[in-house]
Amino acid sequence: MEIAEIAGYFGALLMGVVLGLIGSGGSILTVPILVYLFAVNPITATAYSLFAVGTTSLVGAIKNIRKKLVDIRTAVVFSIPAFIAVYITRKFIVPALPEHLFNVGNFEITRDIGIMLFFAVIMILASISMIIEKKEKNLPETAVIYNYPLIIIEGAVVGVLTGLVGAGGGFLIIPALVLLAKLPMKKAVATSLLIIAVKSLIGFIGDIENLEIDWVFLLIFTGISVAGIFLGIYLNRFIPGKKLKKAFGWFVLAMGIYIVWMEVKS
């Protein structure tokens, strides 16, 4: 086994640990790990990411359901437009993307480069949401009143983004749950994992017919990330997740900038 592969499997473990420690953010690492350490094609990497992220999030969601932290009705309402959008994106839009997108001067933006650059932008936006400290106000338990038009728009946008880059989109879903469904922050974080799991796994179904899946590798990679979640949950007893979130945000920012540099220089 080469050093890059060992680092890649360690990265899969780290993804799960981060998810277990801070409840979100770990999935943003999956695509760079697959592309740069395992040399997986970006299109395939985003598909593998959907499966790994979906399965890992499902484990966390089941844990939260047992603790009665998940608002099932809210999860269903948000998931429907999200998984429809992500399925359509993976099944029809991604395969239809042309190999050549456009040129910037003499620099050709291919489909693979375009996906990685777009992913880098999402990473940078996610890192900013982690770095900037916001006072988390837990709202009192009130009857949930759904703003259906905004929920449909939000779900569709998150679904398309997830379909394109293979990340969970928790940094978009959690604020939406707080603002549009009036959920307390703790419940919003817990509920977001179930939404991420549902839309990611359904989105992956759209890839099964379009791509050749290396199931042995994918199951090993996913299994390691799931083990990481349990390790993260255990470490959460000793390490404050909120402090780690900001530090991880800076790491994600650096990774986003690194991806831009890698794609532009190539």
* pLDDT tens sequence across 95-126: 899 999 988 888 899 999 998 999 899 889 88
Instruction: Work out the mean pLDDT of the chain and round it to a whole number.
Output: 85
Q: Can you give the pTM of this predicted structure?
A: 0.84
Residue 136, pLDDT score: 55
Instruction: Give the integer Cα–Cα distance in Å for 116 and 18.
Output: 22
Coil/strand/helix, residue 98? coil
Question: Do residues 87 and 237 make contact, with C-beta atoms less than 8 angstroms apart?
Answer: no
pLDDT confidence of residue 38 = 95
Ordered by start, the domain boundaries in the chain are 3-265
Q: Which of 183, 169, 201, 165 is nearest to 77 (CA)?
A: 183
Give yes or no for residue 29 having a pLDDT over 90. Answer: no
**Would you state the pLDDT for residue 257?**
94
Residue pLDDT, tens place only, 214-241: 999 999 999 999 998 888 878 877 876 6
Which region among 53-67, 138-152, 177-191, 250-264 has the lowest average model confidence (pLDDT)? 138-152
| Digit-coded pLDDT (tens) for 171-208 | 778 878 887 777 887 788 888 889 988 998 998 998 88
Q: Which of 5-9, 127-131, 207-211 has the highest mean pLDDT?
A: 5-9
Nearest residue to 157 (alpha-carbon basis) of 137, 191, 180: 180
pLDDT band at 141 (very low <50, low <70, confident <90, very high): low
Tell me the CB-side half-sphere exposure of residue 246, using CA atoms within 13 A: 7
